[in-house]
Amino acid sequence: MKKQSKIMSIMLMMFALFLIVPVVAGAHVTVQPDVSTTNAYEKYTVRVPVEKEINTTEIKLEVPKDVDLVSVLPMTGWDYQLEKNEKDKITAVVWKANNGGIKSGEFVEFSFIGANPSKPGEVSWKALQTYQDGSVVEWVGPAGSDEPASITKIQEGDSVKPHAESSHSEHKDSNKTEADNESTNWLPIVLSVIAILLALISLLRKRK
């Protein structure tokens, strides 16, 4: 009986960890869409969630060398600055909070228009997320790492204008789907807490 109780406790702990991992993975800074076309003037959106218990106050996005940043959508509560190189090309955009920043459990989306490269391939969006205590999370790693940079695959495209229009529509649909998914993010957390509580109860019974 004691052996079965121990096995049950271990299984419950593993189940709790299995549920928690997807929630943590969802806290990554991402850039959408993840697929676009050559020569398109694409509307890109940077989604910034908060994975700590303190506010995010600054986000810096490095612009890939093959992408030209055309314009930035202003955001209430945020100021932005553009960084340029010696050739006057925009290399990064930095958003700084002027009203508290992004709270724990929240996310904010920043949008801009970028001119895509003329050749197919992949572009990597490296981001630096600064918290209220001065700590910085560097989303610059390869795919599959703990802190990966977001990747957009650039495919061969026929024309610029039709793609830009269809991309806007597709992105709205994508945002709706992602927003629906965000609303279910609390379910794994609740189930994880229940699993951990059951495991603790089982361990306490074993000691008695």
CATH number at residue 103: 2.60.40.2230
How many structural domains are present in the chain? 2
Q: Would you say residue 146 lies in a domain?
A: yes
Beta pairing partners, 131: 56
One domain for residues 162 and 193: no
Q: What is the CA radius of gyration of the chain?
A: 21
One domain for residues 205 and 132: no
pLDDT of residue 27: 76
One domain for residues 36 and 17: no
Residues 6+ apart with CB under 8 A from 34: 150, 151, 152, 153
- H helix or E strand, kind and range, residue 35: strand 35-37
Residues of the domain holding 21 = 1-26+185-208
One domain for residues 141 and 189: no
Most confident of 15-19, 46-50, 162-166: 46-50
Which of 108-131 are b and which e, b meaning 16 or more Cβ less than 10 Å from the residue's Cβ? Answer: bebebebebbeeeeebbbbbbbbb
One domain for residues 97 and 118: yes
| Mean pLDDT, residues 112-120 | 98
pLDDT of residue 4: 56
Q: Would you say residue 15 lies in a domain?
A: yes
pLDDT of residue 157: 85
Yes or no: say if 39 and 98 are a contact pair by the CB < 8 Å rule. no
One domain for residues 201 and 109: no
Q: Is residue 105 over pLDDT 90? A: yes
CA–CA dist 101, 72 (Å, integer): 18
CA–CA dist 66, 58 (Å, integer): 24
